[in-house]
Amino acid sequence: MTAGVEQHLCGEAAARYRAFAPTSLRSLTVPSPAFCTLSDSFLDYLESRREAVLHWLTVGTRDASGRVRRDVLDYFAERTLRYFHQRNQFIVVGSEAADDLRDVYELFVHRFAEGVQAGRGRGHLAESLGDVMAQHQARLAAYVRDLQTSNGGGDFIFAEAVNAQYTPQLQLRLFGVEAEQLREPILDLGCGPDAPLTMYLRRLGKAVVGVDRTAQASEGTFKADWFDIALEAERWGAIVSHMAFSTHFLHHHLRADGHPERYARLYLDLLAALKPGGSLFYTPGLPFMENLLPTERYIVRRRPICLPDTSPLDAAFAHHLGTSVSYACRIAKR
């Protein structure tokens, strides 16, 4: 019975995330009747299964200490962070901020249980939970305002720098390499939630691992931040990062409160992780790093990529350094 309630409530939460996924991040900070309104079918379910729902909310979600279980909080927090990064992939959410978001959802679970408990009859239930949802949105809005403080202000947070999906074939074509030419094993760094290149190469029989903070953990893919993975020396035959690592490196290089030094260290770690004869592939380019590499150890090859003249990334970088980043780069280790 409890498992059925959990499945139903998680399904309702997932449906709400899908419904609000296309909306702007700014809209989350504005009181919204749509956010506070629960569907008629969900209200019917809550009314008909009230005792079972209350039991799950007050007992089934708790650990031995009476706190809401970490996996329950992660369910909400990870989906909210995924929404944030779909709207703007450059938002930085540190470990403390991630814990703060879990706190928001722990309070939400408590308040939602109280709302179900207080709701006597369909109309009262809708009103009680509507108030809970309004308070929850206000707390999320405050959380977003806190992110503005640590991420360069509202103009940056609401810039909607959205990720794009590229086919595996297009990625390889931009790098000027065929799948069979990639030395193994292969690391797809920043593979994305669906890991299209990783899956494509695996279907071809390649030994490949995809890593991304939004990845769905499965055979061949791992959910992790690229700063947290262990890069062993001379382990990889090829490391591929299309519109991922170098895009974030550029962003932090340009950002007044960025951390380009972390990316510079990781860049050198990636090169050290290549086998002799292996290659690091990435786009856009990082000319300020490539120009420093010793030619006796590395061969730098660049392939131009045609972008619109109005490309904001290239325009910003060209303005600061007087050079384009619109190319795919291959660093071959001698």
- The structural domains of the chain, with segments of one domain joined by +, span 2-157, 168-333
pLDDT reported for residue 266: 97
pLDDT < 50 regions, the chain:
162, 308-310
CATH class in words for 168-333: alpha beta
pLDDT in tens, 79-121: 999 888 888 877 888 889 999 999 999 999 999 999 999 877 8
- Return all residues near 43 (Cβ < 8 A) that are at least 6 apart: 122, 125, 126, 129
Q: Which two three-digit tokens encode residue 143?
A: 């959380």
CB contact at 8 A, 162 and 290: no
pLDDT in tens, 154-205: 777 787 654 556 789 989 998 999 999 999 999 999 998 889 999 999 999 9
Specify the amino acid at residue 44: D
CA distance 170 to 197: 10
CA atoms within 13 A on the CB side of 188: 28
* Helix/strand/coil for 279: strand
CB contact at 8 A, 285 and 304: no
Q: Tell me the whole-structure pTM to 2 decimals.
A: 0.66
Prior bond of 284 cis (ω within 30°): yes
